[in-house]
Amino acid sequence: MKRSYFLISVSIGTLVYVLVNLFFGSTGLWAEAQLIKQRNKLAQNVTEVKKINDELSLEYTSLLKDNDVIASYARKLGFVREGEHIVRFTNGIKMNEKVYSAGSYYECESIQFIPEWICKVLGLSVFFLCMILSLLLYLDDKNLIGQNKNQDKIQTTVIDNEEKSENT
């Protein structure tokens, strides 16, 4: 009987440890959800940077090979061909120039989880609590059984005494 109470307490303590570690530990479901969120943000950032890279490489190749693009950039810088004149407006209106960014800065956040030692302490605490409760139940059962035996002895003594008195 004592062994079964001990095994039940160990089982419950181990179950609590495993469940807390499974859901809230460093490799648990909560930490995994946080990592998935970060992965999605990083993937989005990488997609934006790839888009900017594609636009820049397209502009680069056009600057290398397309004479019209080279001429338009030269005109923006103030160069003209023979027979052309430049008209500049001084009211601050600029032509549509695309400004490229290098992407956005993303800093990974630290993952939140319950440390391993806290999971172990929780499991041990539940084990000791269950052990104390089971010992109390065991002692209570033992005392009730002992009281029942005493009551049975008293009842059998009373019955024996009644039978003796009837016989005499």
Note the pLDDT tens digit of each residue in 50-87: 999 999 999 899 889 988 888 888 877 778 778 777 77
To 10 degrees, the CA torsion angle through 36, 37, 40, 45? -140
Helical H segments across the chain, by residue range: 2-24, 29-65, 67-76, 116-167
Residue 148: what pLDDT? 54
Per-residue model confidence as pLDDT tens digits over 19-57: 999 999 999 999 999 999 999 999 998 999 999 999 999
The pTM (predicted TM-score) of the whole model is: 0.61
